[in-house]
A and B are shown apart, each in its own frame.
Chain A
Amino acid sequence: MSNTLTLNGAVCTFTPGETILDVARRNHVDIPTLCHLKDTVPTGACRMCLVEVKGARALVASCAAPAGPGMEIETESQRVVRSRKMNLELLLASGSHDCLLCPASGDCTLQALAFRYGAGGTRFARRRPAHAPDASNPFLIRDFSKCILCGRCVQACKEVQVNGAIDYGYRGAATKIVTRNDLPLGQSDCVFCGECLQVCPVGAIALADARKKPRQCDMTAVRSTCAYCGVGCQVDLHVRDNVVHMVTGADAAPNHGSLCVKGRFGYEFIRSPERLTAPLVRRDGELVPATWEEALDVVAERLGQVKAQHGADAVGVLTSARCTNEENYLIQKFARAVVGTNNVDHCARL
């Protein structure tokens, strides 16, 4: 019976090496966190995961503290709740947390925790922002006035994407998440994978054009697969009113939440005004719009003619590495079974 502890009175087992937070999450006990990031080294920066362990003098950071035999842990004791609320009040006073104008509203951990613990953000005087926002690039805005210095972005950049483009800089009240030499992101080592955007628990990192889009909480997520490279990252396409407004990495294999710049930001082509919207048929040397009936009739007739006059092998079909499996299957079946030729290949090796 050595590897057991009690969590809010309930007996739980643990495996050595697990933290108190791990044990709690496994047992569906919700200990709030702001800075904790899966698969990275815990920093204990946010103090939100503090819990009361019987016999310990101070509250314990559950994200870093190993579970121990016989521990008696309270995750929502009066002392814990008071500490969390105080912490939240301090965080809310640390910057411009105006939820009305924040793109992260509805999708912000600080906002959710303030609600949960009744922190109104009025207890302390609000600090003036120490740093101007960085909007130096077409992808991301960094609004330091909302940054709670949880460090998740730094860990994501350093430990998950291993880009090391950002870190803590300056000291004390001037502390800021900086690139090397505090250059704007657009002139730094940043490769715009957007991992930092995805892990920021508040609205301190936002899409450059976030104000022109619905908020994430007002959109529907559709799980799909990135259409760029062969890694095949799992994505959520965030949709509203028939428009994909945003793409995030899904927490599933193979990418476990990560994306690259193409997968995350390369979706505008979907809505490009240059998209083809009607079939075109060449008439008197010009490509002119036609109906599907007309266009497909022309194709069927001309392919039929070539086949009749020159044989099926005078027709070639090039399928596409961009199409789905189902489409590739039908296209090669079309070549073989309908046209009657093995002249089918894809362009990947051209």
Chain B
Amino acid sequence: MDDVANADVVLITGSNITENHPVLSAALKRAVRHGRPDGHRARLIVADPRKVGISRHATIWMRPTPGTDVAWINGMAHVILRENLHDAAYVAERTEGLEALRDSVASFTPEYVAAVTGIPAEQVEAAARLYASGRALIYYCMGMTQHVSGTDNVKALANLAMLCGNIGRVGGGLNPLRGQNNVQGACDMGGLPDKLPGYRNAADASARQSVENAWGTVLPDTPGMTSRAMFHAMETGAMRALYLVGENPMVSHANLAHAEACFDALEFLVVQDIFLTETAMRADVVLPSACFAEKDGTFTNTERRVQRVRKAVEAPGEARADWEIILDLANRMAAGWRYDAPEDVMREIARVTPSYAGITYARLEQEGLHWPCPDAGHGGTPILHAEGFLRGRGLFHAVDFVPPAELPDAEYPFILTTGRVLYQYHTGTMTRKSRGLAAREGACFVEMAREDARDLGVADGGMVRVASRRGEIVVAVRVSPKAMPGTVFIPFHFAEAAANRLTSDAADPVAGISEFKVCAVRIAPATADSE
């Protein structure tokens, strides 16, 4: 994170960073406004349909129509190649597939991009030139991945970064910003159907063999289901029982009506959480767990830094740490596990997971360590791929522009995007129980441009009914200069006016992430009799 000060240019897209990752945004703003002590400053490119807070600090702010990101990213690559601004030495030495990329972006002229995205052609050119003018760092967040084209968006950004020699360099890079605190760690640990701990392929027999040896068991060789596939399997009856830890899909799932039907079809649901969430209310068994302040362990942050979590207070009543609960349950099912404390688990993680092999609690005592950290003498790896790409050479991927699955039409004329606000977090189970935060941002709203509000005949604070093909909610209008005319925004934290009643569960075919960011809605003033 401190590396942002070394960048010449920062491109940030699909991330309302000042509200979602505020402390990182402070580092970014410092890099842009104040620079390093030696006078070096970064310049900023922001691509976001909303006039997000960080755009105030941008040299260039592009405003693409939601769902058209591949087009402007490819457009920038087009301009960079056309004007020979790429890092030819780096591309020759460390990448392959440039010609395929060249072909795939040939049609993305600034004029074509302007027609698709609404970004003026000159702005795409200016952004490309600025991006290619020095060491450039990219941050992206859910605004990039929560689309049917989510995987493509990231590939297109990776193309851009490799083209200018920005992967594996100080002040460069392509950095996802994780929304929840330990998404990184959950993935690292094998909380994925196709990946064993350390991202080894679950379908690969030799990878399984090494984990089998460590665990002294036989591992299943049938492919697992993604969370999305699980919901479908719940609906069809292929999945009968679900064990759900620390999540609230009854608020966070795209297309909530569908999620409800899925849960109803289950034979047996266990929910392990700190609160009786909307989802827990549907469970057959609810297991009370300890929160972060009540247990020991580690989290891995968005830059792969493994850091300690320490127990500060006792859990209330009989609530227990998640690791203790799962340990007890496993042993009740004849697992024969023996762990006395989270540190024992970390010792096993280090044995089983090569990228965590050098990590111990003793080494984390003062400061975190970035994985890969392959042995006890290794100081961690703040910058990935510095010595070259894992697979040898970085491969360019041709990506084409696929429009969002649901576009506005006469019946549903507005684009809805969803996201977070500064004072709330996720489904609000924690933040809404902190009085100050609840007081600052206690209720749901729909943010829209002044001209849209005028056309609808609604005032700031007035109630409107927002409907999509899947459901409807009633919320208050917030007229805001952040909103792009024709596009409205609703935060998803609020169960009583759940934005996900409206969202689409059309998904990215590869990552299985739903298209939270784009769906079509219609809006009408909510009159008393229609309530």
Interface residues of A, Cβ cutoff 8 Å to B: 137-139, 159-162, 191-193, 208, 222-234, 237, 239, 242-244, 252-255, 258-263, 265-272, 274-282, 287, 292, 295-300, 302-304, 306, 310, 312-350
Q: Chain B, interface size: which category?
A: 35 or more
Name the residue of chain A whose CB is nearest to the CB of B434: A268
Residues in A neighbouring B348, C-beta threshold 8 A: 329
Residues of A within 8 A of B29 (CB): 161-162
Determine if B26 is an interface residue (Cβ-Cβ < 8 Å).
yes
Task: Render B415-449 as a binary contact track against A, CB cut-off 8 A, 1 for contact.
Answer: 00000001101000111011111011000000000
Q: Is B178 part of the contact surface with A, judged by Cβ < 8 Å?
A: yes
User: Do A297 and B318 touch (CB < 8 A)?
Assistant: no
Which one of B180, B226, B296, B368 lies within 8 Å of A229 (CB-CB)? B180
B230: which of A295, A316, A319, A333 is its contact (CB, 8 Å)? A316
Assembled-state Cα–Cα distance A333/B249 (Å): 23
Q: How far is the CA of A228 from the CA of B375 in the complex (A)?
A: 30
Q: Is the CB of A230 within 8 A of B178?
A: yes
B333 vs chain A, min Cβ distance (A): 5
Residue B320 at the A interface, CB < 8 A?
Answer: yes
A261 to B425, CA, bound (A): 11
Given known contacts A253-B2, A324-B342, A296 and B329 CB-to-CB distance under 8 angstroms: yes
Q: Check B302–A348 contact: CB distance below 8 A.
A: no
Q: Specify the chain A residue showing the minimal Cβ separation from B512.
A: A349
Q: Which residues of B contact A341 (CB under 8 A)?
A: 220, 222, 224
- Known interface pairs A224-B292, A345-B193; A323-B186 also in contact (CB < 8 Å): yes
A90 to chain B, nearest CB (A): 32
B190 within 8 A of A: yes
With both beta carbons as reference points, the residue of chain A lying nearest to B254 in the complex is identified as: A350
A316–B243 contact, CB under 8 A?
yes
Describe B's contact surface by its main secondary structure.
Answer: mixed
A239: B residues at CB distance < 8 A: 312-313
> Please, which residues of chain B bring their CB within 8 A of the CB of A319?
186, 191, 245-246
B199 on interface, CB distance cutoff 8 Å: no
Shortest CB-to-CB span from B380 to chain A, Å, is 11
With A331-B326, A349-B227: A342-B349 Cβ-Cβ less than 8 Å:
no
B273 within 8 A of A: yes
User: Taking the nearest CB of chain A, how far is it from the CB of B233, in angstroms?
Assistant: 7
Contact across chains for B186 and A231 when beta carbons are under 8 A apart? no
Query: How far is the CB of A335 from the nearest CB of chain B, in Å?
Result: 8
Q: Let me know if B191 and A345 touch, CB within 8 A.
A: yes
Nearest chain B CB to A274 CB, angstrom units:
6
Chain A residues closer than 8 Å to B329, beta-carbon distance: 296, 299-300, 334
Task: Report yes or no: B284 in contact with A266, Cβ–Cβ below 8 A.
Answer: no
B57, B187, B242, B434, most chain A CB atoms within 10 A:
B434
Q: Are B299 and A267 in contact (CB under 8 A)?
A: no
Q: Are A162 and B26 neighbours in the complex by a CB distance under 8 Å?
A: yes
